[in-house]
Amino acid sequence: MEQWISTKDLDLGLNNLPKISIITQNNLRAKRKLQYTKIGKNVYYKREWIEDYINSNIRPAKTLQEDN
């Protein structure tokens, strides 16, 4: 069964997801960086859409050689 996450749930960091503020969610939606669906005035996300966004922002760690 699909798990839908509301903007409030994501703002609170529920369902073992990192907290993403409502303002940040609004910006990500406006820039089309985070998929969503809208029913009436309510916005919902699939868990996989949130995970896809998070995974697309992974940055490699610096190695000791890069620090020199």
Domain ranges of the chain: 4-59
Share of the chain above pLDDT 90, in %: 81
Does the pLDDT of residue 2 top 80, yes or no?
no
Which residue from 2, 4, 29 is spatially nearest to 17, judged by alpha carbons?
A: 4
pLDDT value at residue 32: 97
Distance CA 29, CA 35 (A): 7
What is the chain's mean pLDDT, rounded?
92
Q: What is the pLDDT of residues 6-38, one digit of tens each?
A: 999 999 999 899 999 999 999 999 999 999 999
Distance CA 63, CA 68 (A): 9
**Segment holding 54, helix H or strand E:** helix 47-56
Tell me the pLDDT band of 66, cut-offs 50, 70 and 90. Answer: low
Which residue from 32, 31, 42, 40 is spatially nearest to 4, judged by alpha carbons?
A: 42
